[in-house]
Structure 1
Amino acid sequence: MRKGLNSKATSGKLAITSVALQDHIARNLQLQNLSLCDPVKTRWCRRAATETHCKRNHGTVTQKGPQQHDGEEKEYVLDPAAPPLTLAQKLGLVQSPARKLTVDEWSQVKSRSIHEGDSKQPCVICREEFRLQTQVLLSCSHVFHRACLQAFERFSGRKCCPMCRKEQYETRVIHDGARLFKERCAIRIQACWRGYVVRKWYGHMKKTVPPKDKQLRRKFFETKVIQRDTQDCPICLTALCSARLEPEAGRTLAQHHSNRRTVLLSCSHLFHQPCLEAFEAFCVEGRPTCPLCRSPYHKILV
């Protein structure tokens, strides 16, 4: 009797174990929905069931496109929800899948990635900057291009991190690389604009403000005088210097006006010295200004 009972219990355990393993293998190989009578209908039903399961468990979390939340791109997990445990996993015959990361755990993973500066460095696979391309963060805190990671998984034939070789990782779409790239672009645009404004201001100041060095100051005013091409005194309207002969006196006008020396003002205007002194004598204001541009000046004999 005992032998019969033991044999029946053993056979029952073996039956349960075999059924559990068979169900687990069938689910892993996605054979539970196969139907030889109508394979087209079976594929359509399986696809509809998968979409319903994803929508029920994730909502918009499993979408492939970028999401925006209050004007900012939102991060989302790419991996679908874990399927329910099989009988073999519940009985401990097969190892259960790893638990999905929570929001707090993802925050810790991202903090570790930011501390290591992975988003500031180029992608390890293609060795190019992330820029505005889609970027994924793995549960092991390594960052790659989404297209590069998909290509690596397709050609390697398994799901393992290219850096640390961790298998069965989770992926999350992030936008740190795009945000850093936008910040660098904004800084470059601001630097170009500020450089343009400073160069324009310096060029205007170099043309209008005389330098303090005597030689540079003299050269500055000589350049101004050459640019103006002044030949007559604006006050008396006679030539500042002339070598024409005066027929009646038989001598040059320069000899006749030998005491009329030329005065250069700090505003780059030229006058006869007696004309400017007469103007200053008749000036009513406390400090005389230039007869042409009405600006305060300093004068020097040339």
Structure 2
Amino acid sequence: MRKGLNSKATSGKLAITSVALQDHIARNLLLQNLPLCDPVKTRWCRRAATETHCKRNHGTVKQKGPQQHDGEEKEYVLDPAAPPLTLAQKLGLVQSPARKLTVDEWSQVKSRSIHEGDSKQPCVICREEFRLQTQVLLSCSHVFHRACLQAFERFSGRKCCPMCRKEQYETRVIHDGARLFKERCAIRIQACWRGYVVRKWYGHMRKTVPPKDKQLRRKFFETKVIQRDTQDCPICLTALCNARLETEAGRTLAQHHSNRRTVLLSCSHLFHQPCLEAFEAFCVEGRPTCPLCRSPYHKILV
């Protein structure tokens, strides 16, 4: 009796084990897209399996472009969701696949990548900057271009990190390289604009504010006088007696008024000395101002 019961239990266990292993092998072949029997049926099963994986992963596999959330690009995992455990894996006959990384673990991986500054360096595969191209972060904290990593996987024939050779990694789309590139572009634009504003302000200051050095100050006012091309005294409206400013037609009139000397003010205006002294004598205020621009001045004879 006992021998019969033991044989029945053993045969039942063997049957369950064989069924579990057969189901596991069949599922692995289906996931590897290998033809089982009918090609039409296999194609239909392949499409159904892909749709099931996409639904389980909340549609992250089919999303090719970057997601946006509240005006910002959102990160998302590229790998499909893990298939459900088979009976053989539940019974412990076959090793279960490694579990997916959680949100906190992805945060730690990204923090390690930011600390190492991988996004600031060019891509290891193509040796070019990330700029606005799609960027992927591996579970081993290494960063590559998405297109470069796909090309590396396609030509190498296996899923292995180009840096640390870790196999069966997980990938996640990030936008750190694009963010850093936008920040650098904004800094360059701001630097160019600030340089333009400062150069414009400095040019205006050189034209309007006289320097403190005596020789440069004198040259500054002489340049202002030459630019204005002043030929008549603004007070008496007669020709100035400055030999530098007189013309051929006004030489006779200048010789007639040769006893009148010319005064240059610190505001770059020219007057006859007697005219300016008469203006200062009739000025009511304590300190006289320029008759033209109304600004305090210092005067020299020219």
TM-score range, shorter chain: 0.7 to 0.9
Whether the 8 Å CA contact 1:24–1:87 is kept in 2: the answer is yes
1:172 offset after TM fit, Å? 0.6
Structure 1: 5+ residue runs without aligned partners?
none
1:297 offset after TM fit, Å? 1.7
Query: Comparing 88-97 with 268-277, which one deviates more in the overlay?
Result: 88-97
Corresponding residue for residue 157 of structure 2: 157
1:9 offset after TM fit, Å? 6.9
Q: Deviations for 1:242-291, whole angstroms, at most 9, x for unmatched residues?
A: 78999999997666645422111111111111111111111233332222
Whether the 8 Å CA contact 2:230–2:270 is kept in 1: the answer is yes
* Pair 1:245–1:126, CA change in 2 (3 A): closer
Q: Classify the secondary structure of the residue corresponding to 2:216.
A: helix
* Counterpart check, 1:70 vs 2:70: yes
1:51 offset after TM fit, Å? 1.2
Distance 2:185 2:151 in 1: 29
Whether the 8 Å CA contact 1:64–1:78 is kept in 2: the answer is no
Whether the 8 Å CA contact 1:244–1:252 is kept in 2: the answer is no
Alignment TM-score, normalising by the size of structure 1: 0.86
1:202 offset after TM fit, Å? 0.7
* Pair 1:70–1:297, CA change in 2 (3 A): same
Structure 2: 5+ residue runs without aligned partners?
none
Q: Classify the secondary structure of the residue corresponding to 1:300.
A: strand
* Pair 1:152–1:85, CA change in 2 (3 A): same
* Pair 1:250–1:100, CA change in 2 (3 A): closer
* Pair 1:237–1:34, CA change in 2 (3 A): closer
1:50 offset after TM fit, Å? 2.4
1:39 offset after TM fit, Å? 3.3
Whether the 8 Å CA contact 2:230–2:245 is kept in 1: the answer is no
1:134 offset after TM fit, Å? 0.8
* Pair 1:159–1:255, CA change in 2 (3 A): same
Q: Deviations for 1:127-157, whole angstroms, at most 9, x for unmatched residues?
A: 1111111111110011111111111101110
Q: Classify the secondary structure of the residue corresponding to 1:297.
A: coil
Taking only aligned residues, the RMSD between alpha carbons, in angstroms, comes to 4.0
Alignment TM-score, normalising by the size of structure 2: 0.86
Q: Deviations for 1:60-96, whole angstroms, at most 9, x for unmatched residues?
A: 5762321111111111111111111223333434322
Distance 1:247 1:99 in 2: 97
Whether the 8 Å CA contact 1:132–1:178 is kept in 2: the answer is yes
Q: Classify the secondary structure of the residue corresponding to 1:110.
A: helix
* Pair 1:61–1:73, CA change in 2 (3 A): farther
Q: Classify the secondary structure of the residue corresponding to 2:136.
A: strand
Query: Comparing 57-66 with 82-91, which one deviates more in the overlay?
Result: 57-66
* Pair 1:244–1:301, CA change in 2 (3 A): closer
Whether the 8 Å CA contact 1:245–1:251 is kept in 2: the answer is no
Whether the 8 Å CA contact 1:77–1:172 is kept in 2: the answer is yes
Whether the 8 Å CA contact 1:221–1:266 is kept in 2: the answer is yes
* Pair 1:252–1:243, CA change in 2 (3 A): farther
Q: Classify the secondary structure of the residue corresponding to 1:58.
A: coil
Distance 1:246 1:220 in 2: 20
Whether the 8 Å CA contact 1:140–1:169 is kept in 2: the answer is yes
Distance 1:49 1:250 in 2: 103
Q: Deviations for 1:104-140, whole angstroms, at most 9, x for unmatched residues?
A: 1011111111111111111111111111111111100
Whether the 8 Å CA contact 1:242–1:253 is kept in 2: the answer is no
Query: Comparing 27-36 with 132-141, which one deviates more in the overlay?
Result: 27-36
* Pair 1:35–1:99, CA change in 2 (3 A): closer
* Pair 1:243–1:262, CA change in 2 (3 A): closer
* Counterpart check, 1:51 vs 2:51: yes
Distance 2:216 2:51 in 1: 80
Corresponding residue for residue 19 of structure 2: 19
Distance 2:46 2:249 in 1: 121
Corresponding residue for residue 300 of structure 1: 300
Instruction: Tell me how many residue pairs correspond in the alignment.
Output: 302
Identity %: 98
Whether the 8 Å CA contact 1:58–1:80 is kept in 2: the answer is no
